[in-house]
């Protein structure tokens, strides 16, 4: 049975840390589910780690539907959260509800995530009132990377820290079931967590959050062009993949692959008939 937003709330209330991981395809989703990850985020980070782009901004709603549908279809237990991509919810609450409804209906996910604080709270309320669970996202919001001038820690100064607290409270009041805190100083993230009654999910926000979210490709070192400071490499899968592929190429060149073990035979009489047919011509 698939986990729900209530299960995440129960984990938060019981002080049980919540481990969330991104997933974008059948392999990542199945591996994460087998490792008992309770919630999977189909993030618009796929623009960077799957599509090879510099930011998440080029990701479209169609892209998100495609990847969300895969992850939802091949899993049974984890809560599936899908990102609403850039400019699919910012024009009006009506646009946001249309985008959220389309993503939910076409992919089968359980809830959506969108970026923004106090200013987006009325939109969150409209979506939630329509029956769609929403996860918020404040701090460094990647879809606003051009406005921030890069991927920078947010909330280090007094006024910006106060604004993040206000944003978090507004998002909670709007009806969000959880909120991502990205690139927020650890003490501030802990303070926000203590002031909220919904789960906070940190990414570069320290251990004081209710849970953590990391990118699948980062923790396995599958995205070598950039390793964020907040990411920990738990395995170096890239090196293993390179070694295996280089071994394959070498064996093909040397005539060692395929061997008899990886090949198929046929009845000798059939082969002889074919040879005889060729001689008769």
The residues annotated as belonging to the active site are: 182
- What is the number of alpha carbons within 13 Å of residue 46 lying toward its C-beta? 26
Place of tokens 């501030």: 188
Give CA–CA dist 64/100, Å, rounded. Answer: 11
CB contact at 8 A, 169 and 195: yes
**DSSP code of 116?**
B
Closest to 19 measured CA to CA, from 65, 79, 107, 73: 79
Q: Give Cβ neighbours of residue 178 (< 8 Å, ≥ 6 apart).
A: 5, 8, 135, 136, 198, 199, 200, 201, 210
What the block records as the tokens of 257 is: 């692959």
What the block records as the tokens of 278 is: 């060729």
Q: Give Cβ neighbours of residue 196 (< 8 Å, ≥ 6 apart).
A: 168, 169, 172, 179
By DSSP bridging, strand 211-214 and strand 79-83 are unpaired
């Amino acid at each position: 049975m698939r986990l729900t937003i209530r299960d995440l709330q129960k984990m938060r209330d019981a002080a049980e840390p919540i481990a969330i991981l991104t997933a974008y395809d059948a392999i990542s989703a199945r591996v994460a589910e087998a490792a008992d990850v309770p919630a999977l985020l189909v993030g618009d980070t796929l623009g960077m780690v799957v599509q090879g782009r510099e930011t998440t901004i080029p990701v479209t709603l169609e892209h998100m539907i495609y990847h969300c549908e895969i992850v939802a279809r091949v899993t049974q237990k984890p809560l599936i959260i899908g990102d609403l991509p850039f400019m699919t919810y910012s024009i009006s609450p009506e646009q946001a509800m249309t985008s959220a409804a389309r993503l939910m209906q076409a992919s089968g996910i359980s809830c959506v995530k969108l970026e923004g604080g106090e200013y987006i709270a009325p939109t969150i309320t409209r979506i939630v009132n329509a029956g769609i669970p929403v996860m918020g996202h404040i701090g460094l919001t990647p879809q606003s990377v051009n406005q921030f001038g890069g991927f920078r820690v947010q909330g280090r100064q007094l006024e910006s820290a106060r604004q993040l607290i206000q944003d978090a409270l507004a998002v909670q009041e709007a009806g969000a079931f959880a909120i991502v805190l990205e690139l927020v100083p650890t003490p501030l993230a802990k303070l926000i967590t203590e002031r909220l009654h919904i789960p906070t999910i940190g990414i570069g926000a320290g251990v004081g959050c209710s849970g953590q979210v990391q990118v699948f490709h980062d923790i396995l070192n599958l995205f070598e062009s950039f390793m964020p400071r907040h990411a920990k490499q738990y395995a170096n899968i890239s090196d293993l993949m390179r070694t295996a592929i280089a071994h394959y190429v070498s064996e093909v060149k040397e005539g060692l692959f395929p061997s008899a073990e990886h090949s198929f035979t046929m009845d000798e009489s059939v082969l002889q008939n074919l040879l005889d047919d060729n001689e008769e011509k």
